[in-house]
Amino acid sequence: MSPTTAAPGRWQLPGGFVEPPQGGAVLDESALVGQAVRELVEEVGTSAASEDLKLWVVTRGENGSVGLTYLAPALTEATLRVDFDVAAAAERAQGREPELDGIALVRSPDELAALAGPHADYLEPIVRRFCGRR
């Protein structure tokens, strides 16, 4: 992972910190899902309509942070990899390092454990929950 991301050097989901709304706008569900859409575009290169993202799980970190995890419509691995490569190349063409330097599609807790390097603390419980929903 890029050193500029929220969890540098660790595997993580695409995402970011909530940015305060501009011009006195309200920070509501619509604003939050809009920020999730923006993060998908910025970090993965995949776009989705706000109404297609579904709030799936809310987590609380040890430091009191709150995480919102949205489910996006399913895409093929090939589509995700092409989108990611195009987005990363566009960042590099502008002289910036992409926030995420690689992607891995994890289908089980065992696959998560097999990834080289550490992962964000929230990732294992989310992978377990996702795998249990099928």
Note the pLDDT tens digit of each residue in 62-111. Answer: 788 889 999 999 999 999 999 999 999 999 999 999 999 899 999 999 99
Position 134 scores a pLDDT of 56
Q: Which residues contact 76 (CB under 8 A, 6 or more apart)?
A: none
Structure token pair of residue 110: 């065992």
Could you give the CA distance from residue 109 to residue 130 in angstroms, rounded to a whole number?
A: 10
Residue 54, SS3?
strand
Position 5 scores a pLDDT of 60
pLDDT higher than threshold 70 for residue 9 = yes
Residues 109-129, mean pLDDT to the nearest whole number:
93
Q: Which residues contact 108 (CB under 8 A, 6 or more apart)?
A: 127, 131
